Copies of this chain bind each other. A is one copy, B any other.
Amino acid sequence: MDNRSLKSMKARQPTSFLFDLDGTLVDSVYDHVLAWSAALQEEGIEVSIWRIHRRIGMSGGLFTRALARETGLEFDDATLTRLRALHAKHYSAHSANTRPLPGARELLKYLTDTKIPWAIATSGRMLTAGPVLKILGVDPDKVPVITRDLVAYAKPDPDLFLAAAEKLGIEIETACVVGDSIWDMLAAQRARALGIGYLSGGYGTDELERSGAYRVFEDPADMLAHIDEVGGRR
C-alpha cells in the first residue's frame, strides 16, 4: 500500500458511548421485575416472572402489548394506564435503595476525564429515572440524558440512541451502545451503532451476542478494566 492509498482511507473516528441506565449503570433490573410483577398481580393478570425479566428495558407500551399477545388477554387503555401507574408506584417504593453497579461511577469519570463523549438513553421516564440518576451522581443538566419522554418510540426502536448521538453532536455510526438487554442490542443494530453487552441485568452472554453485542462484559468495572479494547484509550 503506498502513501496515496493510505491518504484516501476513511478517517478514523473517535469513539463515544451511549449507555442504557437500568441494569447497565445501576442495579435496578430486579426491582423493575418485581414492580411489574406486583402491578400485574394487583390487576389479576398472571404472568411468570421470568417472562417479565426478559422484557425489562423495552418500551413500556411494547412491554404491555407483548404481554397481551403472550397471555391472550386484551388490555384496554384504562388497564394499561393503571398498570403503568402501579409499576411506577411499586418501583418508586424501592428505588431509594438502588445502588450503582460496580465501576459505574469510575467508568463515567474515566470517560469524562479522557474527554470521550458519553450519554445516557433509557426507555424509562424521568419520573422513575431521576432518583437513580441522582444515586449515580449524574446531573441531567450537565450530561445528555435521553428518556422516554423525549422520543416517539423507545427500545428496541433506535430513536433513544439516535437522539443521544444528536445531542452529543456525533455520528451514530461512530458510537458504541452499552446495555444489558437484548432490546439495547437490537436498537443498536437498528441505529447502526456497535453493541456492547453487560451481564449485570441477568441475561446470558449468548443471548446478548445473538442479539448483536460485538463484546460482552460482566459490568461497568469489567469494561473499565478492558477499556482499551473498545476504543477507550486516552
> Residues of A with Cβ closer than 8 Å to B?
23, 27, 29-30, 33-34, 37, 41, 46, 48-50, 53-54, 97, 99, 101-102, 199-207, 219
Contact = CB atoms under 8 A, between A and B. Distances in A.
Nearest to A52: B30
Chain A residues touching B, majority SS: helix
B48 A200 contact: yes
A29 B48 CA distance: 11
Contacts of A200: 48, 50
A203 B199 CA distance: 12
Contacts of A206: 204-207
Contact of A50 (B46, B50, B201): B201
A220 to B, nearest CB: 10
A52 to B, nearest CB: 9
B30 A37 contact: yes
Contacts of A199: 50
A77 to B, nearest CB: 27
